[in-house]
Amino acid sequence: MGEQVRQGSIGVREAGPEDAEFLVDMLLAAFNWTGEERYTRKQILKDKSTSLYVAGWQREGDLGVIAVDLAGPSGLQIPVGAAWVRRFPARNPGFGFVAEDVPELSVAVLSHHRGRGIGSGLIRSLAPRLAGAGITRVSLSVEHGNPARALYERLGFTAVTEQEGATTMVADVNTLIQSVRS
């Protein structure tokens, strides 16, 4: 299963093409962060402005990590969270687009595993992989009121623009890497 960063009974491995379905689950969790079903799975897959985060996973340049519960039955390693990046062209941007060479980060953890350090751990373990791929900055879009913003700020993201109902944030990959050591 490749390299794993252990965190209690949680491991982290690199995402592969076989994780496409799970990334759809995580994208849905990210869009439905309030806990209400604001979007159905069908809607996020049908609407191009939302499906673009996962469509055709895994494309060239796509990079992600999956948190797995290492204590699954019969040695099964069950995915519990994911963080991944994808670049977008200016003509077809994501909600947190800042530039074509700045990929956008998506992250989510299954609801009953939140608040245990898994989300931060995912972003931290993604950071050196981003650096290895020559990525120097990442962006994201976080809706107003989402407590995830505090986590992003803690890791070194700063707000760059405001949209209606959401903030676009950017982090230097080096800052994310340093947050591992601090």
Long-range contacts, 68-74 (Cβ 8 Å, 24+): 68/1, 68/4, 68/10, 68/11, 68/12, 68/13, 69/9, 69/10, 69/113, 70/4, 70/6, 70/9, 70/10, 70/11, 71/9
Residue 151 touches ligand COA, criterion: CB under 6 A:
yes
Residue 107 touches ligand COA, criterion: CB under 6 A:
yes
Q: Which residue in the set 12, 27, 28, 29 belongs to the binding site for ligand COA (CB under 6 A)?
A: 29
Tally Cβ neighbours within 10 Å of residue 84.
Answer: 26
- What is the closest distance, in whole angstroms, from the C-beta atom of residue 113 to ligand COA in the complex? 6
Q: Which residue in the set 115, 128, 145, 165 belongs to the binding site for ligand COA (CB under 6 A)?
A: 115
8 Å CB contact between 68 and 13: yes
- As to burial, measured by CB atoms within 10 angstroms (0-12 exposed, 13-18 middle, 19+ buried), residue 9 is exposed
Considering the complex, state which of residue 91 and residue 166 has its C-beta at the smaller distance from ligand COA.
166
For residue 35, give both structure tokens. 């806990």
Considering the complex, state which of residue 36 and residue 60 has its C-beta at the smaller distance from ligand COA.
36
Residue 165 touches ligand COA, criterion: CB under 6 A:
no
- What is the closest distance, in whole angstroms, from the C-beta atom of residue 165 to ligand COA in the complex? 12
- Counting Cα atoms < 13 Å in the Cβ hemisphere of 55 gives 13
Considering the complex, state which of residue 30 and residue 171 has its C-beta at the smaller distance from ligand COA.
30
Q: Which residue in the set 23, 30, 68, 126 belongs to the binding site for ligand COA (CB under 6 A)?
A: 30
Tally Cβ neighbours within 10 Å of residue 147.
Answer: 10
Residue 12 touches ligand COA, criterion: CB under 6 A:
no
Nearest Cα neighbor of 53 from 167, 179, 139 is: 139
- What is the closest distance, in whole angstroms, from the C-beta atom of residue 84 to ligand COA in the complex? 12
Residue 170 touches ligand COA, criterion: CB under 6 A:
no
Q: Which residue in the set 45, 52, 116, 174 belongs to the binding site for ligand COA (CB under 6 A)?
A: 116
- What is the closest distance, in whole angstroms, from the C-beta atom of residue 74 to ligand COA in the complex? 25
